[in-house]
Structure formats: structure tokens, C-alpha cells
Amino acid sequence: MSTIKVLNVDKGSDTEYTFQEVYSLPTYKKAVALSGQILAFADPSTQTELRNWKDDTHAILRIPAGNISPRHVSIKSLIRSYS
């Protein structure tokens, strides 16, 4: 298991930056996109999850068993429709 972390970058001075963790999620899935508050992460063979990391709501998109389709939906379009 790994952990997906959303970090905020704070500028301390002209040459100094610090990272502050604002959200953390233990998961077996891989992060694939971040747009604003929406984080997309996936297990490529079965499902993709869209999660609003600020209010912790989510939607899970599953590929039906045995349904291998040549159609692909872009993660960006999914994020726009979920936002």
C-alpha cells in the first residue's frame, strides 16, 4: 500500500519554499490527475475513483467484468463532469 498526498507549497522567502501536507489517502491505486479539489486515481484494470479531497466526497467508475471496450474517456472530461 502507498499513500497519495496533496501538498501545498509555501514561499518563505525569495529562495526558500516549504511543503505542507493538506490531504493524505492510503491506497493501492495510482494517482493519475489533480485538478483543483478533484483527485483522480485508478487501478487500471478495474476502476477509477474521483475524489474531492476538500470535502472527501467521491465517485467510483467501474469497468464491468468481461467488457473490454476500445472507447476511452479522458480523465480531464470526467473531472469536469464531476466538479
pLDDT per residue rounded down to tens, the chain (83 residues): 889 999 999 988 888 999 999 999 999 888 888 888 999 888 877 788 999 989 989 998 887 666 555 455 565 665 666 55
C-alpha cell at 48: 477509477
| Overall pTM > 0.85 | no
Please, which residues have CB within 8 angstroms of residue 79's CB and are 6 or more apart in sequence? 33, 35, 38, 40, 50
The reported pLDDT for the residue numbered 67 is: 58
User: Could you tell me if 79 and 37 are in contact, meaning their C-beta atoms sit under 8 angstroms apart?
Assistant: no
